[in-house]
Structure 1
Amino acid sequence: MTPDFTRPCVKDLEAYKVVPPDYNIIVNANENPFDFPDALKKELNDTILDMSLNRYPDPSATALREQLSDYTGIDADQIICGCGSDEIMSMLNQTFINPGDVVISHAPSFSMYQIWSVIGGADFVWVPDTEDLTPDVENIINTAKRTNAKMIYLCSPNNPTGSLLPRHDVADILEETNALVVLDEAYIEFKKEGDLTEIVNEYNNVIVLRTLSKAFGLAGIRCGYAVGPKPLIDMMYKVKSPYNLNKLTQAAAVIALKHRDTLLENVTILNSERQRLYEFLKGLKGITRVYPTASNFIYFEVPDGAPLYAALLDEGILVKYLKHDVSDDVDHIRLTVGSPEENDAVIKVLKRSLS
């Protein structure tokens, strides 16, 4: 008999499954539909030609952190970079979580909070959102106190619902619990006035996660970062792999941040398209509820999502189908805002399928 080497927490874990993107229109992963401009690709290509690929990358991503500092207004020594926000979450668990510690988040939210926590040996608790699918702040605080939670994940704008946490709610959680609060702002560029990054200079128990995958349209280079009080970031550097972010990613990210005004012009287009889709969905029979959103996706409720999901797949359109995500009585669909042409195609199928 082959020995069972697997840790029990991993054996029982439900893996995060990604659907292969073999579709004409991919609006299931909250990606930006607009590719890196050719002019910036050429600049990256020229940078690569001058690059020594036989040498390891800068272990501290110095140039990248300086650009991020200029962008966020947070000191460079309060920033740590990783291979997407996923690696940052792994660092958080390695740095701060002991086996048996309690980690909580609000539900529904990003499932990787639970997955990374369980891999780290934590006991994970979901705190259900309110009826209108906004975080139940009072319940989060009470649960954190009752369980002596070590860490709390908050997502704003939240994936998959699109809700935005106001500053006073985040402050209440920071002040009324003993937990390290991780505020995930992966989509904050789509609602810039909700940006709470500066809060890391006011509280010593908060870390903010950010990424270049969404608004910057660079999901393919896998670049995430965290900002926080320097003592916490210094501790995270102790567990960071020496060369975790390769030279190509660092170079592309630096170029993107130098040209951020150009890249972030697409946010205006996507926000306008988001409003167009939102108004269309609200007026469509067959959809029982459309939730307000501050991100580049829309979360809506249907009595039975399977026929709609199948109809979209038949047309080569991939959306995120969340069967019974909140309730056993209804299904939910999360629809990423695509390009105007992609959105036209989605609207056509939805109108035909649900009217």
Structure 2
Amino acid sequence: MLHDVLTVDALTQALQVIRPAVRQGKPYSVGAPPEAPIKLNQNENPFELPEAVKRELLEALQEVPLNRYPAEHPERLRQALAEHLGWSPEGIIVGNGSNELTFTLGLAVVDAGTPVVLPRPMFSFYEMMVRLHGGNVLGVPPRPDLQFDTEALLETISRNRPALVVLTTPNNPTGLTMAPEDVEAIVQAAPGLVLIDEAYVEFTDGIGFRRFLDHYPHVLLLRTFSKAFGLAGVRLGYLVGHPRIIQELYKARIPFMVDRLAETIALTLLRHYKLVQEQAARIKQAVAWLYQELATLAGVAPVPSQANFVIFRTELQPRILLARLAQKGILLRDLSNYPELRGYVRVSAGRPEENRAFMDALKEALTEPE
């Protein structure tokens, strides 16, 4: 009995040393969805690589020395990205997914009480990062049409002088983009860093706000290989900014975060960037088709999207709708955890046959008796 009491006391004391910001938070989780034939719930690229590219990739991977550490910084990939962007390689960090780079930025910038402006709704990982580092989240609600409220953002920036402003365009979870003049007004007003998350940039013009780097040294662009490149399972992202800023961020970054296999895969895809563009164009067509089809259904309200997904509301509660679709072998994402998106669900663009199957199943689900 005494041993049990001592064990409980030791556990309680051990838990006390974990920072309050961590103990009060929640782990990031997308849940463990059931297996289903049609998976349209995680904004993935639905297209496989052509066989010829796969063979090229396998041949390249056979040459990778797995017994050797990767470079501290994947210089070949950094150089290839520099050529892709027309930017200095010293102004690029490659990471184990954009999420790792988000944490690196937080470690470098966010301290106890640091003000960070986050428009809502936004990828929840950003708020999680700020809170874990002890920062002060300054959330700015959207306009009624779910667009970011530029005037409110400018007022919040002026009032709080934040160290960091995060903008996501196209935005996850809404799929909406920001007007360039609105982004530039925020950049000009911000006294600290402005991170522009461009995870879905290839589904717009593929250029995004690259030109801002030439004029605003406090702008950072965050991009990923998970969406248009179709490498969600590889975990690669990159952060682009002024070399002096990037040099400082490197001091907060864990070394050896990009393995040799991931670098080789990314280099192969960059050599086939035309394929990436072609697949992105097909996904854009699918998104337009989904939006048009959803808009024709009574009681269904979709939101125009510039990403690879569409969000929409129906007269059914999301949990009921998603359960009915799951029974038909189709997975969607419930967005009700975002206060501004209660009642909304999200469908990622799939292959043509998957999109048609989804629409058929949705029509059936909407007409089933309660």
1:149-202 deviation digits (Å, cap 9, x = unpaired): 111110000001111112111111111121311000000100116611221121
- Structure 1 counterpart of 2:41, from 14, 17, 28: 28
Equivalent residue number for residue 350 of structure 2: 338
Shift of 1:6: 2.1
Equivalent residue number for residue 157 of structure 1: 170
Does structure 1 residue 7 correspond to structure 2 residue 19? Answer: yes
Equivalent residue number for residue 123 of structure 2: 110
Does structure 1 residue 232 correspond to structure 2 residue 245? Answer: yes
Shift of 1:216: 0.8
C-alpha separation between the residues in 2 aligned to 1:72 and 1:92? 21
| RMSD across aligned positions (CA) | 1.5
Equivalent residue number for residue 220 of structure 2: 207
C-alpha separation between the residues in 1 aligned to 2:348 and 2:135? 31
C-alpha separation between the residues in 1 aligned to 2:225 and 2:206? 18
Q: Which of the two has higher C-alpha Rg?
A: 2
Equivalent residue number for residue 81 of structure 1: 94
Equivalent residue number for residue 282 of structure 2: 269
- The within-5 A match list for 1:155-304 is 155-192=168-205, 195-287=208-300, 289-303=301-315, 304=317
Distance 1:327 1:214, change over 3 A: closer
Shift of 1:69: 1.6
Q: Which runs of 4+ in 1 moved over 4 A?
A: none
1:194-230 deviation digits (Å, cap 9, x = unpaired): 6112211210211000011100111111010011111
Shift of 1:23: 2.0
C-alpha separation between the residues in 2 aligned to 1:198 and 1:65? 19
Q: Secondary structure at the match of 1:264?
A: helix
Equivalent residue number for residue 60 of structure 2: 47
Count, aligned residues: 353
1:54-111 deviation digits (Å, cap 9, x = unpaired): 1111222111112112222222121110011001101101112222101121111100
C-alpha separation between the residues in 2 aligned to 1:276 and 1:94? 42
Q: Which moved more, 1:194-203 or 1:216-225?
A: 194-203
Q: Secondary structure at the match of 1:117?
A: helix
Normalised TM-score (structure 2): 0.92
C-alpha separation between the residues in 2 aligned to 1:314 and 1:125? 40
Q: Is the 8 A contact 1:129 1:135 kept in 2?
A: yes
C-alpha separation between the residues in 2 aligned to 1:130 and 1:110? 17
Equivalent position amino acid for 2:246 in 1: I
1:244-272 deviation digits (Å, cap 9, x = unpaired): 10000000000000111123211111111
C-alpha separation between the residues in 2 aligned to 1:339 and 1:275? 13
Task: List gaps (5 residues or longer) in structure 1.
Answer: none
Task: List gaps (5 residues or longer) in structure 2.
Answer: 1-8
Equivalent residue number for residue 363 of structure 2: 351
Equivalent position amino acid for 1:32 in 2: N
C-alpha separation between the residues in 1 aligned to 2:259 and 2:230? 18
Shift of 1:327: 4.6
Q: Which moved more, 1:150-159 or 1:312-321?
A: 312-321
Q: Secondary structure at the match of 2:204?
A: helix
Equivalent residue number for residue 308 of structure 1: 321
Shift of 1:325: 3.0
Distance 1:189 1:166, change over 3 A: same
Equivalent position amino acid for 1:25 in 2: I
Shift of 1:31: 0.6
Q: Is the 8 A contact 2:121 2:340 kept in 1?
A: no
Q: Is the 8 A contact 1:65 1:79 kept in 2?
A: yes
Q: Secondary structure at the match of 1:189?
A: helix
Question: Identity percentage over the alignment?
Answer: 34
1:118-175 deviation digits (Å, cap 9, x = unpaired): 1111111221111101110111121122222111110000001111112111111111
C-alpha separation between the residues in 2 aligned to 1:194 and 1:137? 22
C-alpha separation between the residues in 1 aligned to 2:76 and 2:105? 23
Q: Is the 8 A contact 1:197 1:227 kept in 2?
A: no
C-alpha separation between the residues in 1 aligned to 2:206 and 2:84? 15
